[in-house]
Chains A and B, each alone.
Chain A
Amino acid sequence: MSTAFTSIHAGPVPTVPARQSVAGRTMLATLALALVFGLAARVVELRPLELVRDIGNVGVFLKGYLNPSFGNVGEYAWQCVVTMCIALWGTVLALVVSVPLGLLGARNLSPHPLVYFAARRVMDVLRAVNEFVFALMFVTAVGLGPFAGMLALGIHTGGILGKLLSETIESVDPGQVEGVAAVGAGRLHVIAFGVVPQVLPNFLSYVLLRFESDIRSASVIGMVGGGGIGFYLWDTIRSFRDGEAATVILLIVAMVMCIDVVSARVRRAAI
């Protein structure tokens, strides 16, 4: 088909500058990735055929769970409420921990590279140490129970939210920040007017996401004495009371679903 543009599209191709070849680099990267994934498959003993062959055993295991027994359902439901309360206050503690760390750990806000470095490393430690380890640690101070679990969750989640906050702050539009700083505003004013409005919607979304995942963490942290439904999950499974374990699992699933619905509402209302 000939159009008015044929005069431009057809004809000799102009001299085009040579393109830096990336083929070699791409090939090398592909090989390296294939090697890493191959080794990782060996390490995790990836044997899909065995899964297919012995999938029936899973059915045998699940059979015991098909008859949930609701004898202690009241106690379990109450423990679900305890779990939610742990997650709720754990998230509050996480906010208290993450906001200062996130501000200091954002390259574009940090007062000094050393402060930036220190804040980042503290957040690394909080994230790297599992909430279960924190729970064991706090149990020695405040004894068994939900308070220890809440402290553990809050500290660990604080590290995660702090990292997410500082990454979000680093990706703000610098023009809007400059517009506030240009009037001679102080550092906190620049943050309040130039950074916070840009960061808030994303951060709120992260906080809700972490709250949902804290609910799941809180429902197992009881295994190490952190209170909540986790203790009963662990106890019923370990003593082969399959029917009761099934009840606990059902309750946890229902709770996670409820929280998901609620947090979706909050997100829509707030963002």
Chain B
Amino acid sequence: MPGDLSRLLNALGLIAVDTVLALAFIDQLWFRDLPCPVCILQRAAFTAAGFGLALNLLFGPRPSGYGLTIVGAAVGAAISMRQILTHIVPGSGSYGNEIFGMHLYSWAFIAFALMIVGCGLLLLDDRQFARSEPRSNRLSVLPLAAFVLFVVLAVGNVISTLLICGAGFCPEAPAGYLIFNDNLSLTELAQTL
């Protein structure tokens, strides 16, 4: 597999991660489905897994980049599996909205598993790691867009998590944006103005 094709596949993989993180934001903001602490950790694991693909885009494909993605996805799979197991007994309830008949943590586990398998398949071809010519540092439009969107979503999650949880730990079942209610009393401040 030539280096350029490998870079394109890494860009498509990162766009897939971007899509997952963006859909989580849509579910949170549009459908008002606030993430639980473990759900936030799954988002962080998606960011950890996408990080390796982002490095492959910037520095060219390297086994270590795929390694970061596999480790991040394995951690994410463990976290989502823990949440699935919490609800696996019939009648034990669920958390959040369903999408196409499954909850977000079930989809997350499938996505993490697909990432591990995808990286395994990409690692099968050694030719992408052999540099026959100096690689340009300039990114084409698609990898650049994937990278920039990934950074925006990572920073967006910093802000979102701060708004939901404040500076401390998240409540087990968040009912609203903590920073507006308790920490800074911005809601009361807005009402008085």
Real complex partners, A and B?
no
